[in-house]
Amino acid sequence: MLRKGVDMNARARCLMVALLALCCAMSAANAEDGYDLWLRYRPLAPTAQRQLQADITGIVATTQPSPLMQSALAELARGIGGLSGKTPPRTQALRDGSLVIGTAASTPAIAALQLPLKDLGDEGYLLRSVRQQGRRITVVAANSDRGVLYGSFALLAQLQGGGRIDTLDISSAPRVQLRMLNHWDNLDGRVERGYAGASLWDWWRLPDVTDPRYRDYARANASLGINATVVNNVNAVAVILRPDYIAKVKALADVFRPYGIRLFLAVRFSSPLELGGLKSADPLDPAVRAWWRAKADEIYAAIPDFGGFLVKANSEGQPGPADYGRTHADGANTLADALRPHGGVVLWRAFVYSEKDVQDRAMQAYQQLKGLDGKFAENVVLQVKNGPVDFQPREPFHPLFGAMPKTALGMEFQITKEYLGFSTHLAYLGTLYEEVLRADTYSNGAGSTVAHVVDGSLGRPGITAMAGVANTGRDRNWSGSQFDQANWYAFGRLAWNPQAAARDIAADWARLTFGTDARLVEDIVGIMMRSREAVVNYMTPLGLAHLMATGHHYGPGPWVADQSRPEWNPVYYHRADANGIGFDRTATGSNALSQYAAPVAARFADPERTPLEYLLWFHHVSWDHRLSSGRTLWEELAYRYDSGVKSVASMQADWAKLAGRVDTERHAEIAAMLGVQLREARWWRDASLAYWQSVSGRALPPGVAAPAQSLSYYQGLQFPFAPGR
**What is the DSSP secondary-structure string of 116-152?**
--GGGTTT-EEEEEEEETTEEEEEEEESSHHHHHHHH
Annotated catalytic residue, options 202, 316, 517, 613:
316
Position 245 contacts ligand BDP (CB under 6 A): no
The one-letter code for the residue type at 464 is: T
Among 128, 175, 289, 312, binds ligand BDP (CB under 6 A): 312
- Site for ligand BDP contains 640 (CB under 6 A): no
Tell me whether residue 577 is one of the annotated catalytic residues: no
User: Backbone phi, then psi, for 415, in 5-degree steps?
Assistant: -90, -40
Shortest Å distance, C-beta 192 to ligand BDP:
5
Site map (CB under 6 A) of ligand BDP, residues 418-457, x = contact: x---------------------------------------
Q: How far apart are CA 246 and CA 256, in angstroms?
A: 15
Query: CA-CA distance, 605 to 618, in Å (whole number)?
Result: 8
Q: Classify 280 as helix, strand or coil.
A: coil
Dist CA 585 CA 565 (whole Å): 20
User: Smallest distance, Å, CB 320 to ligand BDP?
Assistant: 12
> Binding mask 385-404 vs ligand BDP (x if CB under 6 A, - otherwise)?
-----xx-------------
* Site track for ligand BDP across 219-238, x = CB under 6 A: ---------------xx---
Q: How far is CA 568 from the centre of its chain?
A: 25
Counting residues that bind ligand BDP (by CB under 6 A) gives 9
Of 125 and 391, CB closest to ligand BDP: 391
Which class for 317: exposed (0-12), middle (13-18), buried (19 or more C-beta within 10 A)?
Answer: exposed
The residue among 367 and 516 lying less far from ligand BDP, judged by its C-beta, is 367
Q: How far apart are CA 684 and CA 315, in angstroms?
A: 30
Q: Which is nearer to ligand BDP, 73 or 234 (CB)?
A: 234
390 labelled catalytic = yes
Q: Which of residues 104-163 bind ligand BDP (CB under 6 A)?
A: none
Contacting residue, 179, 183, 193, 585, with ligand BDP by CB under 6 A: 193
Between 390 and 395, name the residue whose CB sits nearer to ligand BDP. Answer: 390
In the complex with ligand BDP, the residue whose CB is nearer, 312 or 667, is: 312
The answer to whether 392 and 546 are in contact (CB under 8 A) is yes
Which position among 123, 185, 282, 390 bears the catalytic label?
390
Question: Does position 192 bind ligand BDP by CB under 6 A?
Answer: yes
**Under a CB-based contact definition with an 8 Å cutoff, are residues 584 and 621 in contact?**
no
Compute the least distance from the CB of residue 418 to ligand BDP, in Å: 6
Contact call for residue 722 and ligand BDP (CB under 6 A):
no
Measure the CA–CA gap between 443 and 641, rounded to whole angstroms.
35
What is the number of the residue whose Cβ is closest to ligand BDP? 390
Identify residues 480-539 at the interface with ligand BDP (CB under 6 A): none
Q: What are phi and psi of 221, to 5 degrees?
A: -65, -45
* Nearest C-alpha neighbor of 139 from the set 120, 122, 152, 150: 152
Taking the complex as a whole, the smallest distance from the CB of residue 169 to ligand BDP amounts, in Å, to 42
Residue 32 appears among annotated catalytic residues? no
Cβ of residue 229: shortest distance to ligand BDP, in angstroms? 17
Beta-sheet strands, E only, within 183-276: 228-230, 262-266
Does residue 351 touch ligand BDP according to CB under 6 A? yes
Answer for the pair 489, 509: CB distance below 8 angstroms, yes or no: yes
* Dihedral (CA of 716, 720, 723, 725) sign: positive
Q: Which residues are catalytic?
A: 316, 390, 418
Q: Residues interacting with ligand BDP, by CB under 6 A?
A: 192-193, 234-235, 312, 351, 390-391, 418
